[in-house]
Amino acid sequence: MFRWCSYCQSFMGESEPRDNFTLTHGVCAKCRPKVRTITQQELEGVMPIKLFFNELQSSILSLQKFDKSKIMAEANRLNINAADLLAGVMQPLLYEIGKMYQEGKIPAVQEHKFSMMIKELIRDIRMELLANIPEKQNTEVLLACANGNFHEFGISLLELHLKKAGVSVESLYPGLPPDQLVAYAKQLNVKVVGLSVSMENQLAEVEEVARLFNESKGPRPYVIVGGFVIRSTTPPIDGATLFSGSIEELVRWVVEHLKDQHLESTAG
């Protein structure tokens, strides 16, 4: 589920059950100290965002043409910032449209149209969010779709969040064959490699990447794997960490890991 703060209407991230793509409410850390008693009116503060989500979902089902400018205008009216629009509205809608397509409720052309609109939104929002963030010289994190995965929304969103957190990131999509990906990561001397998988059969590509890193000489990056198919029951992969948490949790982990790496190199 995708949680929004009922008080300030900011996106709070995902929560269990993660295969439920609906929107729900809560209280963010910033607003929590102000909260003493929760009224029904306050609990309903997130309702306009839910209605916005439901209207977009209805337009998909009725095969209406998407109007990006109207979507952005409505988001502005609801005080939804650019990053929250992507993570808390478009991300669950992207999951929903994939589910609708699999269930035969919408044709492939509508799924493709929505995906293209998402790519345009990411491009526009990326330019807006990153305009004033200086680029670092050395790449710290390499993000890539696992070879065969053509769904780049997840790593595009993660890239935005990491750069906002001050992390130097490079993204590759579509992905590369395992040997080329490993060679490029070694060339960049990155600290973390993040791989996105959309189907279980792509885990074999991840296993090959991890194996090549394990057999390579010199320092190797920390390999972390995420995606909708990653669950607590997914078999472990030697040399890689399977991550099933939210993007916010992953960003916090990467930032802390890079700090630890920096401290170790300084101490050495």
Each residue of 164-206: pLDDT tens digit? 888 999 998 888 999 999 999 999 999 999 999 988 889 999 9
Same domain, 83 and 180: no
Same domain, 21 and 78: yes
Q: Which residue, of 82, 107, 130, is where some domain finishes?
A: 130
The whole-angstrom separation of Cα 191 and Cα 262 is: 10
Q: Which residue, of 70, 97, 130, is where some domain finishes?
A: 130
The whole-angstrom separation of Cα 122 and Cα 68 is: 11
- Domain that residue 202 falls in: 141-267
Same domain, 67 and 154: no
Name the nearest CA neighbour of 189 among 219, 155, 229.
Answer: 219
Burial 150-167 (b: 16+ CB within 10 A, else e): ebbbbbbbbbbbbbeeeb
The whole-angstrom separation of Cα 102 and Cα 132 is: 40
pLDDT digits (tens, 9 = 90+) for 59-116: 777 767 767 788 888 888 888 877 788 778 877 777 777 778 778 888 888 778 777 7
Domain count for the chain: 2
Same domain, 120 and 146: no
The whole-angstrom separation of Cα 74 and Cα 69 is: 9
Global model pTM greater than 0.75? no
Same domain, 173 and 79: no
* Higher pLDDT pick, 139 / 118: 139
What are the two backbone dihedrals, phi and then psi, of residue 66, each rounded to the nearest 5 degrees?
-80, 135
Measured from the Cβ of residue 70, the count of other Cβ atoms closer than 10 Å reads 9
Same domain, 64 and 113: yes
Q: Which residue, of 68, 100, 130, is where some domain finishes?
A: 130
Same domain, 32 and 87: yes
Cα 205 versus chain centre, distance:
20
